[in-house]
Structure 1
Amino acid sequence: MAGETEENNSKQQDLDELTYIISHDLQEPLRMITSYVQLLNKRYSDKLDDNAREYINYAVDGSNRLKKMMDDLLTYSRIGRPVFNRVDVDPEETINSVKKHLKAKYPECENRIKFSALKQIKIRADKELLMKLIYNLVDNSFKFNKNKEPEIKILFDENDKEWLISVCDNGLGIEKEYHGKIFGIFQKLHNHSEYPGSGIGLAICEKIINKHKGSITIDSEPGKGSTFHVSIYKER
């Protein structure tokens, strides 16, 4: 059993390394493609008809989407790399950092994110990864929310065995049959034009939690919002 686990870990490390190399090495040729397409549009736009300009816009949009996917894939692969530093993390400090990073994207986030902790706790976790986890979950809550007044509630708690985090929103909600699917890489339930994104944010969340030997699940119904439940097991 131990040998099988070691083999699986080795395969995962190989996959992470391959993903990192592919996503990193493809960045430069993609930048070149995007730059030359934009240059073509800038220099010869007045000589092109409407169809040609539209095709160029499609090419630029596709390049930008691919860059976003590769950036997220790079982030995903880096989570599996050896550097992992557990420290005592203050939940409130983490939430404030998340708000700061989200403010440009969602100016109303300061008043829409409600934080509470049932106890004065410190979570023993990788500080950067924990912030990335909360950021992705909150970003998801804002993105898939059509309410004029989005509400996101974040609760921290603990018991003898684990730290507990829940992120609850009043967004679109998800049908039960898709609850497992949403944690897959590049899995999207909505059209890109309506809800832009790479479809890897929740996969990153799951990998962060796996790195901490924890778990992440979702309770959700269409029209009733979603609640993500996260547990991080305490080291013994």
Structure 2
Amino acid sequence: MSQGFSILLIDDNPGDRLLAIRELKREFPQVQIQEIREAESFAQAVATGTFNLVITDYQLGWSNGLEVLRTLKARYPTRPVIMFTNTGSEEIAVESMKAGLNDYVLKQPNRYVRLAAAVRVALERVEAEQRAARLDLRLQALLNQLNVGVFRSDANGNLLECNPALLNVLGVDSIAQAQAVLPLDLRQQYLQLARLVPPQHQHQETQIQGSDGKPMWVVFSTMLNPVDDETVLDGLIEDITERKRAEMQLQHLNEVLEGRVTERTAQLEATNRELESTNQRLATANQNLQDFAYSVSHDLRAPLRAIQAFAQILLEEHTNQLDAIGQDYLQRIYVDTQQTDRLIQDLLAYSQLSQADIPLQPIDLERVVTSVLMQLAPELEQRQARVVVEPFTGMAIADRLTLTQVLTNLLTNAIKFVAPGVQPQVRLWAETRGDRIRLWIADNGIGIAPEAQQRIFNVFERLHGGEVYPGTGIGLAIVRKGIEQMNGQIGVESQPGQGSRFWIELSLA
């Protein structure tokens, strides 16, 4: 469909015109839109006729959309008209459709996008009808060469001659019988054609009773031709019963298809709106989180470190000036500032992971595991943890720093969340799954209830008090975010009191 066309926009509300023009320009950048606000400009536009399609409101200060439709269809019956209104009713819509309205669109905020779709469908339908009309004319030229019923009559409607095919179609044996049953007033047809400018021909379809008594569809093509010293009426008649059946089947299929397209379009529009809203909320949340994290990092960590330093000085140099309660309070201040500082650092790390564009490359997974265990050696020794790594090989698509942080957090949790008096035991192994590699980290910890296994990956989600198992509640959220940034997946299998098996899965290089 060419975008170089003109639209007549009839609406006396400037705001509604502006919104409609914006949607139409967005879909058809080259469209020319003529705005109609009063009766005089409408009359001029109708007289000029330089438009391809009309969009009209129903409630107008000088008329209504139904009268506008009737005026347009009387002058330009093939020009598509769309009613775009919020003041109509079902009765008005039905009456408008009977008067030739092409589409009826409600003027609502979420329907403006539907207006452009209605314009496209209406123009494409006009083009299809024009192509069909041109094809029909070509078919008529071909019909003159086919074995169809042929007849000739004079100006008074008397049959002069016919071929056997005509008698066969009508189910008669003679030209006299054909004259009696021919379902066409030949004299009236002659007069109608005589009033036309050359070429003087007409084409019409009608239903008649066949020779077997069953209804059948035939097509008549008539024209005036000069023969010798007089003008005669020549005609063709063809049985088109099968074609009409096919047309009715096609019409039914088109109606079904249009209904499905309308339904799918509505579903797609709703889905797009939901996706746009979700993306906007996610972008806003990520930006707010990043801004908050940086603000906390820059504005709070400095005074927090000062509090921590002064508390440490008091503990180291002025302990004898405080009683036992004062020393306990001061020790709590020092521990709480450390915990708060770790929380700020974890928030900043999570924010940076959420916003970062991580470069991925092939990484030796076993080497990264070995490196992390070396870094955690002091903590593993302090907790007397036993870690077993089963040999494996595999290059994963990942980022080394992000993967190191993910494994550090998972191993730290594995040796931390154990029952009092139990020696932490951790086992690591890997397995290949098609084009993916999965690393397992199993522990003998306290386990996780099934209903909490998804929540533990949320920010600030803690299942236990900080007095028993200290932490910030962000570690596993950082793990999940890091894995997602590397196009991977993470999961856990666990039961309370039976330990946990965390797994991460990355693309295999």
The bucket for the TM-score relative to the shorter chain is: 0.7 to 0.9
Q: Deviations over 1:48-102 (max 9, x none)?
A: 2222222111111111111111111122112123341101111110111111111
Does structure 1 residue 24 correspond to structure 2 residue 297?
yes
1:95 alignment partner AA: V
Report how many residues are paired.
232
Does structure 1 residue 138 correspond to structure 2 residue 411?
yes
TM-score, length of structure 2 as denominator length: 0.42
> How has the CA–CA distance of structure 1 residues 112 and 18 changed in structure 2, closer, same or farther, with 3 Å as cutoff?
same
Does structure 1 residue 115 correspond to structure 2 residue 390?
yes
Match of 2:479 among 205, 212, 219: 205
Q: Which residue of 1 aligns with 2:443?
A: 169
- In the TM superposition, what is the alpha-carbon distance from 1:12 to its structure 2 partner? 4.4
Q: Which residue of 2 aligns with 1:72?
A: 346
| SS of alignment partner, residue 355 of structure 2 | coil
Query: Could you say what the CA RMSD is over the residues aligned between the two structures, in angstroms?
Result: 2.4
TM-score, length of structure 1 as denominator length: 0.86
Distance 1:8 1:230 in 2: 28
Q: Which residue of 1 aligns with 2:458?
A: 184
Match of 2:284 among 7, 11, 24: 11
Considering Cα pairs closer than 8 Å and 6+ residues apart, tell me whether 1 or 2 has the greater RCO.
Answer: 1
Match of 2:363 among 81, 89, 94: 89
Match of 1:61 among 315, 320, 335: 335
Q: Deviations over 1:84-125 (max 9, x none)?
A: 11011111101111111110111255x5232343xx421011
Distance 2:317 2:387 in 1: 45
Residue pair 1:95, 1:115 contacting (<8 A) in 2 also: no
Q: Deviations over 1:162-210 (max 9, x none)?
A: 3322211122111122212211222222232322222211111111122
Q: Which residue of 1 aligns with 2:397?
A: 124
Segment of structure 1 superposing worse, 2-11 or 24-33: 2-11
Distance 2:289 2:432 in 1: 31
Segment of structure 1 superposing worse, 10-19 or 205-214: 10-19
Q: Deviations over 1:125-147 (max 9, x none)?
A: 11111121112111111111247
Match of 1:100 among 374, 381, 388: 374
Pair member with larger Rg: 2
Matched-pair identity in %: 26
Residue pair 1:79, 1:208 contacting (<8 A) in 2 also: yes
| SS of alignment partner, residue 80 of structure 1 | helix
2:313 alignment partner AA: L
2:390 alignment partner AA: F
Distance 2:278 2:399 in 1: 23
Distance 1:80 1:70 in 2: 15
Residue pair 1:154, 1:167 contacting (<8 A) in 2 also: yes
